[in-house]
Amino acid sequence: MSSLNRFRSLAVFALLVALLLGNLPVGAAPAAFADPAFQTTWTRTDQLVSGGALKRSFYWGPGSNTAGLYEPYAEGKDGQHLVQYFDKSRMEINNPDGERNNRFFVTNGLLTKELISGYMQTGNDSQVLRWPAVIPLASDTDDGTAPTYASFRGAVALSDSDKTGQTVTAIIYRAGVLDFEHGGSATYGYDYSQHKVKYSYYEPTTRHNIPDVFWNFLNASGPVLENGRQVTARLNDPYFYATGYPIADAYWSQVKIGGKATVALIQPYERRVLTYVPSAPEGFKVQMGNIGQHYYSWRYNDAGKPAAVAGTCAGDHSPTLGFGKLWNESLLVKINLGCSVSAEKRATVTAQTFTGGKLIAINNYDYYSGEHYQDIYALYSDGTATTLSHIGLPRNFDQRQPSPIFPARDQSSNLLSGLGTALDSPTVVYYDNIAKSGGAPIQYFDGGLMVYPDLGARKIYALHNTTGTTHTAFANPHSTPIEIDRWAVYADTFGG
């Protein structure tokens, strides 16, 4: 390839990456800066880039995307604060009477945490539930297979050990599934270890690791403008000034950039998202994602609604009766459970209360395999939960007969011992699988299940997984266990 053609190829790729990640202005001209401090902050790192004097990725964007806005903020003056949106973030002034020369007079919002959790912050200790954003972090907006902010719920819930020196090979999928086993071998599709990215720093504050490609980026020095003069200095000082701390480890994924399939390493921080695209031109391999754009669309244009919230669930399994009332009236339940994957049915359900929580066992008949199964769930008092067992029962098992709720292998486990002392004897609501009558209502969803273990108590238990997926083949719900990690109980108010 001639040097001219090579240059043109790089230029085209850079243009595609820039359009995707916000390195070129698109549409209307930038709005005026809402405060001189915003302009000073932007000018320091991005003026030289915007003017073409420097070839590197933007920290904020080519200019502001909105005029100044006042948004609710409990600790702000008159209960609000001044903000302004950019491609890469949202600048804000929380204390207009503070020291304007302080580097942290202008801060970034915790946009990543909000988009992943679904809670919009309205103050230091106040928030409003919207929904985890189903918006791709690092790919074309029409990429239906790439991970979204919502995909990272499970990754954010983890506390990672120190992996300094280890090669980064973990994978994340759009459904939120995390794969720590197959990313280092081409046998399973793609060998991410070929990119030789290693963890180089462990952040003890949030218990997550930072890869070398991001650590070098966050600690880089280069030309900046300070007090009207060009000097060489750190772009971030301290390293977390623009991004905040990491809130998950980094994960590889297959994404689409400019309509072309490629691989990217993605890591969410409190305030930004960093991406590493190995095939991008030098100087543009590491970029800050377009979280300012994404967040503005989520907050003001209702973008990124999950299917359950948007009312676009596939199939005809909408919850009815008490389950339906709870699911339709509770945004949190809709978010946690997602769309239903089967109609409500009846099953034999056993329950027992302990000083530290509750055990629930569900006997199910799987019509696909013709087998009976018993799933046992431990529900701890702190709101966490786990799947203890997924046990095959005899093929001719009669659900009208009692079955063991606590197999020996669970009685000695730490998971079971964490429940403490039993406060009552197990209670059983039997399903007659011959007459097809009785039993307790249950229903399965993308993210877990609802169960009604005690008909007299009128309580609905919602068991869900923070990743938004149960890791289950839904065409055959009991081929693998429904993995849960959280639970909540609600009063059944159906019918009064």
Output the 3-class SS for 246-310.
ECCCCEEEEEEECCEEEEEEEEEECCCEEEECCCCCCCCCEEECCHHHHHHHHHHCCCCCCHHHH
Q: How many residues does the chain have?
A: 496
227: left (phi over 0), alpha (psi -120 to 50) or beta: left
Phi–psi pair at 359, nearest 5 degrees:
-110, 135
Residue type, 493: T
273 and 330 both lie in a single domain: no
Separation of alpha carbons 36 and 100, rounded Å: 10
Residues 6+ apart with CB under 8 A from 329: none
Do 142 and 188 have their domain in common? yes
**Domain closes at, from 300, 325, 343:** 300
Last residue of a domain, one of 277, 300, 323: 300
Predicted local confidence at residue 16, as pLDDT:
42
Q: What is the pLDDT of residue 98?
A: 93
Structure confidence at residue 469 (pLDDT): 66
Q: Are residues 284 and 320 in the same domain?
A: no
Helix (H) or strand (E) holding 156: helix 153-157
Q: Write down the pLDDT at residue 29.
A: 62
Same domain, 351 and 295: no
Residue 447 lies in a domain: yes
Q: Are residues 400 and 470 in the same domain?
A: yes
Distance CA 27, CA 29 (A): 7
Residue 465 domain boundaries: 310-491
Q: Which residues contact 267 (CB under 8 A, 6 or more apart)?
A: 210, 211, 214, 246, 248, 249, 250, 251, 273, 274, 275
Q: Is residue 496 included in any domain, yes or no? A: no
- CA distance linking residue 89 with residue 156, whole number of Å: 20
As a whole number of angstroms, the distance between CA 123 and CA 142 comes to: 33
Element (H, E) at 186: none
Distances (CA, A) of 279 to 138, 262, 273, 287: 14, 8, 19, 13
| Domain final residue pick, 279, 300, 321 | 300
Is there a single domain that holds both residue 71 and residue 206?
A: yes
For residues 191 and 171, give the distance between their C-alpha atoms in angstroms, rounded to a whole number: 11
Q: What's the confidence (pLDDT) of residue 468?
A: 67
Percentages helix, strand, coil for the chain (3-state, rounded to 5) are: 20, 30, 50
The reply to whether 408 and 436 lie within a common domain is: yes
pLDDT for the residue 18: 41
**Which pLDDT score is estimated for 481?**
66
- 305 domain residue, yes or no: no
Residues 330 and 282 in one domain: no
Report d(CA 193, CA 89) in Å as an integer. 31
Under DSSP, the state recorded for 103 is G
Structure tokens given for 384? 């966490």
Same domain, 210 and 67: yes
Say if 457 falls within a structural domain: yes
Residue 388 lies in a domain: yes
Query: Do 398 and 258 share a structural domain?
Result: no
Non-local CB neighbours of 129 within 8 Å, separated by 6+ positions? 118, 119, 120, 331, 332, 335
CA distance 444 to 339: 9
Measured CA to CA, the distance from residue 219 to residue 243 in angstroms comes to 12
φ and ψ at 442, to 5 degrees?
A: -140, 155
| CA-closest candidate to residue 213, choices 140, 161, 282 | 282
Specify the number of domains making up the chain. Answer: 2
Whether 199 is in a domain gets the answer yes
* DSSP state for residue 160 in the 8-state scheme: P
> 277 and 369: one domain?
no
pTM of the full structure: 0.87
Closest CA relative to residue 111, chosen from 316, 339, 258, 268 = 268
Indicate if 195 and 102 belong to the same structural domain.
yes
What is the structure's pLDDT at 404?
54
Per-residue pLDDT tens digits of the chain, which is 496 residues long: 433 343 334 333 443 444 444 433 344 567 899 999 999 999 999 999 998 888 899 999 999 999 999 999 999 999 999 999 999 999 999 999 999 989 899 999 999 999 999 999 999 999 999 999 999 999 888 899 999 999 999 999 999 999 999 999 999 999 888 889 889 887 778 999 999 999 999 999 999 999 999 999 999 999 999 999 999 999 999 999 999 999 999 999 999 998 999 999 999 999 999 999 999 998 899 999 999 999 999 999 999 999 999 999 988 788 999 999 999 999 999 999 999 988 999 988 989 899 999 999 988 776 666 677 788 899 999 999 988 877 666 666 666 665 555 554 444 455 667 888 889 888 889 888 778 888 999 999 989 999 999 888 899 999 998 876 654 433 344 446 678 999 999 999 887 5
- What is the structure's pLDDT at 296? 98
CA–CA gap between residue 357 and residue 341 (Å, rounded): 28
The long-range contacts involving 123-132, CB below 8 angstroms and separated by at least 24 positions, are 123/72, 123/73, 123/74, 123/75, 124/74, 124/75, 125/74, 126/74, 129/331, 129/332, 129/335, 130/298, 130/299, 131/304, 131/305, 131/306, 131/309, 131/331, 131/335, 132/304, 132/306, 132/335, 132/468
**Within a domain: 432:** yes
What tokens appear for 317 in the block? 């399994």
Instruction: Classify residue 451: in a domain, yes or no.
Output: yes
